[in-house]
Structure 1
Amino acid sequence: MSLISPALSDALESWLAAQKALKDASQNTLDAYRRDVSRFLAFMADHSGGAHGTAPLARVETRDMRAWMAHERARGLSARSLARALSAVKGFTRWIARREGLEPTAILSTRAPRAKTRLPRPIAPEAARDVLTTVAETAREDWIAARDTAVVTLLYGCGLRISEALSLTGADAPLAETLRITGKGGKERIVPVLPAAREAVDRYTALVPYDIAPASPLFRGARGGKLNPKIIQNAMAQTRALLGLPATATPHALRHSFATHLLSAGGDLRAIQELLGHASLSTTQAYTAVDTARLMEVYEAAHPRANGSSG
Structure 2
Amino acid sequence: MNKVKPTDFARSLSNYFFEYLPVQKGLSENTIKSYRDSMSVFLDYCEKERHLKREKLEIQNIDRSLVEDFLSWLEQVKNNSVATRNQRRIALNTFFKYLQYENPEYVLLCQHILSIPNKAGKKQTIRHLPIKAVEEILRQPDLKSRSGRRDFAILSLMYESAARISEIANLCIGDLHFERSGAIVHLRGKGKKFRDVPLIRDISSLLKNYLSEEKHYRPCDKMEPVFCNRDKEKLTRAGISYIFNKYIKSTRSAMPNLLPSKVYPHIFRHSRAMHWLEAGVDLQYIKDLLGHADLSTTEVYAQLNTEMKRKILEEVHPKEHQSSQYPSWTEDKNLMGWLSNFQDTH
Same fold (TM over 0.5): yes
Q: What's the CA shift for 1:142?
A: 1.8
Match of 1:210 in 2: 217
Distance 2:52 2:290 in 1: 49
Does the CA contact (< 8 Å) of 1:158 and 1:193 recur in 2?
yes
Distance 1:251 1:86 in 2: 26
Please give the per-residue CA displacement for 1:75-119, whole angstroms capped at 9, x wherever unaligned.
233322221221222222233233232211431211122343323
Secondary structure class of the residue paired with 2:24 = helix
Secondary structure class of the residue paired with 2:196 = strand
Distance 2:115 2:292 in 1: 28
Q: Return 47-56 or 212-221, whichever deviates more.
A: 47-56
Does the CA contact (< 8 Å) of 2:184 and 2:198 recur in 1?
yes
Match of 2:20 in 1: 18
Flag structure 2 segments of 5+ consecutive residues without an equivalent.
Answer: 1-5, 311-346
Please give the per-residue CA displacement for 1:148-197, whole angstroms capped at 9, x wherever unaligned.
11111112222222322232333346744222211111111110111111
Match of 1:7 in 2: 8
Aligned sequence identity (%):
25
CA RMSD of aligned residues (A): 3.0
What amino acid sits opposite 1:23 in the alignment? K
Residue 260 of structure 2 is aligned to residue 243 of structure 1:
no
What amino acid sits opposite 1:145 in the alignment? G
Match of 2:33 in 1: 31
Flag structure 1 segments of 5+ consecutive residues without an equivalent.
Answer: 297-311
Residue of structure 1 aligned with 2:105, choices 101, 106, 123: 101
Q: What's the CA shift for 1:250?
A: 3.6
Aligned length: 287
Secondary structure class of the residue paired with 2:84 = helix
Distance 2:309 2:298 in 1: 12
What amino acid sits opposite 1:217 in the alignment? P
Distance 2:94 2:177 in 1: 44
Match of 2:234 in 1: 226
Match of 1:179 in 2: 185
Q: 1:8 to 1:42 in 2, by over 3 A?
A: farther
Distance 2:117 2:60 in 1: 22
Residue of structure 2 aligned with 1:196, choices 185, 202, 210: 202
Residue of structure 1 aligned with 2:150, choices 129, 147, 150: 147
Please give the per-residue CA displacement for 1:192-230, whole angstroms capped at 9, x wherever unaligned.
111111122133234445124212222222333223213
Does the CA contact (< 8 Å) of 1:153 and 1:196 recur in 2?
no
Distance 2:244 2:303 in 1: 22
Distance 2:203 2:42 in 1: 47
What amino acid sits opposite 2:162 in the alignment? G
Distance 1:10 1:162 in 2: 34
Q: 1:44 to 1:169 in 2, by over 3 A?
A: closer
Distance 1:248 1:52 in 2: 41
Match of 2:300 in 1: 286
Match of 1:305 in 2: none
Residue 179 of structure 2 is aligned to residue 167 of structure 1:
no
Q: Return 145-154 or 161-170, whichever deviates more.
A: 161-170
TM-score relative to the length of structure 1:
0.80
Distance 1:264 1:237 in 2: 24
Distance 2:300 2:263 in 1: 17
Secondary structure class of the residue paired with 1:180 = strand
